[in-house]
Amino acid sequence: MFSIFNFQFSIFSCMKNFEISETDKAILPDLIDKINNLTKPKGSLGLLERTATRIGLIQQTLSPELRKPQNIIFAADHGIVKEGVSFSAPEVTAQMIFNFIKGGAGVNMFARQHHFGIKLVDCGVNADFEPMEGLIDRKIRKSTSNYLYEAAMSETEFDRAIEIGAEIVDMVHGEGTNVVSFGEMGIANTSSSSMWMTYLTGIPLSDCVGAGSGLSKDGVEHKYNVLKQCMENYKGDGTPKDIIRYFGGFEMVAAVGGMLRAAELGMIIIVDGFIMTNCVLAGRALYPALTDYCIYGHQGDECGHKLVLDYLGAEPLLNLGLRLGEGTGAICAYPLLESAVNMINEMASFKEAAVTKYFK
């Protein structure tokens, strides 16, 4: 009876499938032609021109638009925190939930400034919360397991986290949003990001491990030694899905699911810092076309972020030395997306302005 139950369970427990196609490049020559014939020297607006082109490809139009931007914050705790890999105390995750709801976090301030909506989702915070306005309860369980000794989550929990991410993106899409960023709150999630990064890129672990929320040099060395031991203890099958499940956090896997659903819906994804860039890395390992829908908000100050951006061939919009997370860097970059869209839509062409074209 037990074996039959396991067989039936494996049938019904499987990862949600997504249909994500590469953006159709047939429109690319027309996008480039329109941008090149605006009243400016060819290429003189640099990265803004390339950003406008990317947005046009995502939306398959010469006149793109940005509607009702929203930042989705997934929150959860990590079992690996027990090994002293983070400067911050584990209770900070739960404490920050209240700070987000009160509007006192960095991401709240930037969201107000740039008119972003915020969705805050509890995927696995190690605390009990009363029902609260502003907090979406999708708790899988209180914290992942400690992957020094075992997988962070089961396959069923992995699948559930993917579904949660997709569900919340469906929610914001239904509200009229076509541009979304993702943030995270989870003490020790730079450790999980480092593990994803080294396994999915082949970059040495030592280059993937940084200070996180403020570790000293000795703290970083301890963090590295713990994660190195985690690699030595790993007994999985080495597939991308198994790596993501074994070392990930619920909030990170939910972000992957959200990104995949956003790409499936043809939405623009603004990528935040080190952790969210590694979520793109993970999502791309499952669905390579994901990166066609990504615009990278910034290069952060966490060790390894530039390396993973370079691995993805990403061109970040900002480099301000940020390492806060929460989606802050993505939101800070949003005005540049607005500038890129305004450029392609509002600048006159040489023909419209009756200006002689002054370049070849």
The answer to whether the beta carbons of residues 251 and 184 sit under 8 Å apart is yes
Q: Is 135 helix (H, G, I), strand (E, B) or coil?
A: coil
Q: Which residues are catalytic?
A: 326
Closest CA to 327 of 205, 172, 160, 130: 172
The Cα–Cα gap between 146 and 234 comes to 12
Largest Cα–Cα distance in the chain? Answer: 81
Q: Which amino acid is at 147?
A: Y
Task: Count Cβ atoms within 10 A of the Cβ of residue 359 and give its class: 0-12 exposed, 13-18 middle, 19 or more buried.
Answer: exposed
Kindly report the number of other CB atoms within 10 A of residue 125's CB atom. Answer: 25
DSSP string for residues in 2-47:
HHHHHHHHHHH--PPP---PPPPGGGHHHHHHHHHTBSS-TTTTHH
Residue bearing tokens 């419209």: 352
Closest CA to 72 of 172, 142, 197, 199: 172
The answer to whether the beta carbons of residues 55 and 333 sit under 8 Å apart is no
The Cα–Cα gap between 122 and 325 comes to 16
DSSP string for residues in 64-117:
----S-EEEEEEE--GGGGGS--SS-TTHHHHHHHHHHHT-SHHHHHHHHHT-E
The 3-state secondary structure of 235-273, one letter per residue: CCCCCHHHHHHHHCCHHHHHHHHHHHHHHHCCCEEEECC
